[in-house]
Amino acid sequence: MPSLKEIKNRISSVNSTRKITSAMKMVASSKLHHAQMMIGNMLPYETMLEHILKTFIASDAELQSVYSMERPVKNVALVVFSSNSSLCGGFNANVLKLMQQAIDGYKQLGKENIIIYPIGRKVAEKAQKLGYKTAGNFYELADKPDVQKRIAIARELGQMFLKGEIDKVELIYHHFKSAGSQILTRKTLIPIDLTTELKRDHER
């Protein structure tokens, strides 16, 4: 049976741990609130920028033929977003499951014609385990998004599409809705879908 002194030391240790975890919780809560505000402020701009881009391309026949015309898919790129670590519930598991479904849908192309852009360590580890090639190491973008590096990836994908090296680019990610709710999303980035903009122009 532990002595009274040992019990007091254990109580003191638990109280110290509780203070540390309480401080960590406050810091994490502050970071989450800040990130939530940034995302909330950004989403309207994202929606409007997408609308402007599609309207511009829809109005130019030459651009339409380059970026929006579908062609037989022989090579595909999947840009998949996950975290670098675990302990986040089904966040990574759901993304990896949707990535697996996408890969299964393109299985007839062969592994050599499917390239994965892993934004996050968990995606990279899964792609390596499955034997698919990846476009590089983008772990840092999962923790600290860098606009210039993401622009570089987008330009690279655009150039590959123009050269005929890939025929389709898909995004797989969680679309932020609230702190407790994210919508698992699979979206075609290229070719650009102009149907909504063309339909809107027709209705006008």
Nearest CA to 179 among 111, 88, 114, 117? 88
Q: Cα separation of 166 and 41, whole Å?
A: 33
CA-to-CA dists, residue 155 to 61, 123, 151, 161, 178, angstroms: 21, 21, 6, 10, 30
Q: Cα separation of 152 and 123, whole Å?
A: 20
User: Residue 95 corresponds to which tokens in the numbers above?
Assistant: 């993304």
What are the residue numbers of the active site? 88
User: Residue 26 corresponds to which tokens in the numbers above?
Assistant: 């406050």
| Number of other residues whose CB lies within 10 A of the CB of residue 29 | 11
* Burial of 197 per CB tally in 10 Å (0-12, 13-18, 19+): buried
- Looking at the DSSP bridge assignments, the partners of residue 183 are 175
